[in-house]
Structures are given as C-alpha cells and as structure tokens.
Amino acid sequence: MFGGAFDPPHVAHVALAQAAVEQLGLDELRIFPTGQAWHKARALSAATDRLAMARLAFGAVPRAVVDGRELERSGPTYTVDTLRELSREFPGAQLVLVIGADQAEALHGWRESDQIVRLAIISIAARARPVRAEGAFDASNLPAGQFEPVELPPMPVSATEIRQRVAAGLPVSHLVPGPVARYIDQHHLYQAT
Ligand code: ATP
C-alpha cells in the first residue's frame, strides 16, 4: 500500500514506487490517492483529477495498480481502515505500508497506529529535507513494529513546490512525469486565482 494526496504525483513518488516494488519483491503495489486527509489543512484538488494523474504517473510502474476507493469515502480517510479492508480481501497476504520518512515520523499520531504496525510491515523511504531543517530521520517516535527501509536517492521535490511553480508560471516538466505535466496544463490546475 502506497498512499498520498498525489496533488500532483511527482517524480519522487514514481521513483519510490519503483524502488519499493524492486527492493521489497512485492507482488503488487496498490496506490491509494487519499480522500480529504485529516492532517492536511489545504483543500485538495478534485478527486477525479488526482485519480487521473495517479493513473498517468504510475501506469508505467510494473505491478503498480491505482485504487480509488479512499476517494469514494465520505469524511476523512484513515490508513488503518484501508489496511483492514486489504487484509480481508487478501487473507494470508503480508501487507506492506510504504511511506516517506516525513510520514513515518508522524506515524505515531495516525489513527490506531498500534494497529497499523500490526497489520503491515512499515517500509520507509528516506526523504530529502528542506535545507534549513536539521538532523537526520528521527526514529524515536516510531511505534514498535516491523520496519523495512527502501533505498531511494534523496529527491528534494514536493507537490507543494510543484503547485507553487505552476502558479508562478514556472516549468515543472522536470518534476512530474510527462503525461502529468500535460494533464496539469490541459486542465489548468494550480493556476493562481
Ligand atoms: P505536499 O507537498 O502537498 O505535502 P508531498 O510531495 O509530500 O505533498 P504526498 O502525496 O503527500 O506528496 O506524499 C505521498 C507519499 O510520498 C508520502 O509517504 C511522502 O512521504 C512520500 N514522498 C513524497 N515526496 C517524497 C520525496 N521527495 N522523497 C521521498 N518520499 C516522498
């Protein structure tokens, strides 16, 4: 399971998905664009746009399948609910939750994090920090569970930066897969109002 707002999906998301499939030997990587995530204050772009962009971005990653079910839930989305559904749908399967290090540091605050670490191995990819942030990844807050790193060269890219660049009229074609860049352009996403 690899979840995210994917608003928009960018090159680091795709690299992380590829690395997870290869390094963890996954049978399948299910990509879940999130509904209105409880921990993000900003209103996300339309579910249809994020789903379409996720399909464009991850379409070329072997074994990756985009799953839109969290977008159909009313109210906030919780990872633990999706993991429970997956464990019912795939009895006996070993579930793996793939997340970037920034999310891993916040994992202890997620709803039922003790259950999350019981339901899945947590697979953490390093995330390049903003220049001013200090210190390495802080694992001290992680709940007890099974962890597996995903090696990923630091890729200092974020969806926030991409939205800001589009709004400022700056190019983003080096930061998102080509079909996503075209989708953003054609649908006039992230334009300054
Ligand atoms: P935003 O800037 O809007 O907060 P984001 O770039 O962090 O977005 P998300 O969709 O929130 O993107 O991220 C989905 C998942 O991908 C999270 O687990 C996040 O940690 C991980 N991720 C995002 N960008 C990177 C990156 N550059 N390197 C490693 N992991 C990343």
Asked whether residue 179 is domain-assigned, the answer is no
Gap from CA of 7 to ligand 1 centroid (Å) = 10
Asked whether residue 39 is domain-assigned, the answer is yes
Closest CA to 33 of 84, 69, 61, 62: 69
Question: How does pLDDT run along the chain (193 residues), one tens digit per residue?
Answer: 999 999 999 999 999 999 999 999 999 999 999 987 656 667 899 999 999 999 999 999 999 999 999 999 887 789 999 999 999 999 999 999 999 988 888 898 999 999 999 999 999 998 776 544 445 556 666 667 788 889 999 899 999 999 999 999 999 999 999 999 999 999 999 998 6
Atom 21 in ligand 1: residue holding the nearest Cα: 100
Alpha helix locations (H) across the chain?
11-24, 47-58, 69-72, 79-89, 101-106, 113-119, 159-167, 178-186
d(CA 55, CA 137): 30
Asked whether residue 171 is domain-assigned, the answer is no
* Residue 16 · residue 61 · CB < 8 Å: no
Asked whether residue 16 is domain-assigned, the answer is yes
- Amino acid 132: pLDDT: 41
* Residue 28 · residue 16 · CB < 8 Å: no
Asked whether residue 190 is domain-assigned, the answer is no
Asked whether residue 62 is domain-assigned, the answer is yes
Asked whether residue 162 is domain-assigned, the answer is no
Quote the domain boundaries for residue 91: 2-156
**Best probe residue, ligand 1, of 127, 180, 184 (max atoms within 8 Å of C-beta):** 127
Q: What is the pTM of this model?
A: 0.92
Half-sphere exposure of 50 (CA within 13 A, CB side): 24
Amino acid at 186: Q
Gap from CA of 100 to ligand 1 centroid (Å) = 6
Gap from CA of 127 to ligand 1 centroid (Å) = 8
Closest CA to 33 of 11, 17, 48, 12: 48
Which 3-state string (H, E, C) describes 111-140?
CCHHHHHHHEEEEEECCCCCCCCCCCCCCC
Closest CA to 20 of 103, 105, 96: 96
Asked whether residue 121 is domain-assigned, the answer is yes
Whether 157 lines ligand 1, by a CB cut-off of 6 Å, is: yes
- The CATH number of whichever domain residue 135 belongs to comes to 3.40.50.620
Gap from CA of 3 to ligand 1 centroid (Å) = 9
Q: Report the number of distinct structural domains present in the chain.
A: 1
Closest CA to 1 of 21, 26, 30: 30
Whether 158 lines ligand 1, by a CB cut-off of 6 Å, is: yes
- Amino acid 140: pLDDT: 65
